[in-house]
């Protein structure tokens, strides 16, 4: 069973943290049968959450789950903006497919509204 959980030590992610250039990077992993199948690296700032990298191993739904988990935690902290500062620009394609980003922007705003809109979509599909 897939679990998405924050990792409380950064062992194995030193290169990601070094590339981010800051020390307060959080790592959330997707775990399946005790093995990490993906991750997202991010940091909270006062007005925004910055995503530095993610790895979904080519699984679009895993990308969705990783980003939404960080988005949800950001909303709980009162943060309404998520900025994607990912060095590998090819990773922006999945973010656009999932409607986290539009056009050439690297910013997703109104996170709470985004999360609530998605709940409305699921309700409509169920009707």
Domain extent listing, the chain: 2-126
**Cα separations in angstroms, 17 against 40, 60, 105, 123:** 11, 24, 23, 39
Reduced to 3 states (helix: H, G, I; strand: E, B; else coil), residue 40 is strand
pLDDT of residue 100: 93
pLDDT of residue 43: 97
Per-residue confidence in pLDDT tens, the chain, 127 aa: 889 999 999 899 999 999 998 889 999 999 999 899 999 999 999 999 999 999 999 999 999 999 999 999 999 999 999 999 999 999 999 999 999 998 889 999 989 887 776 554 544 444 4
Fold of the domain spanning 2-126: Aminopeptidase (3.40.630)
pLDDT of residue 59: 94
Q: Are 39 and 67 in contact (CB under 8 A)?
A: no
């Amino acid at each position: 069973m897939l679990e998405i959980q924050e990792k409380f030590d950064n062992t194995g992610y030193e290169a990601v943290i070094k590339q981010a250039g800051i020390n307060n990077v959080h790592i959330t992993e997707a775990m399946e049968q005790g093995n990490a199948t993906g991750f997202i690296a991010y940091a909270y700032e006062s007005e925004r959450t910055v995503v530095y990298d993610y790895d979904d191993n080519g699984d679009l739904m895993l990308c969705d789950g990783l980003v939404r988990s960080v988005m949800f935690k950001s909303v709980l902290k009162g943060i309404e903006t998520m900025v994607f500062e990912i060095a590998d620009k090819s990773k922006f394609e999945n973010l656009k497919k999932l409607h986290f980003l539009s056009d050439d922007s690297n910013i997703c705003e109104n996170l709470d509204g985004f999360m609530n809109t998605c709940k409305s979509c699921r309700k409509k599909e169920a009707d």
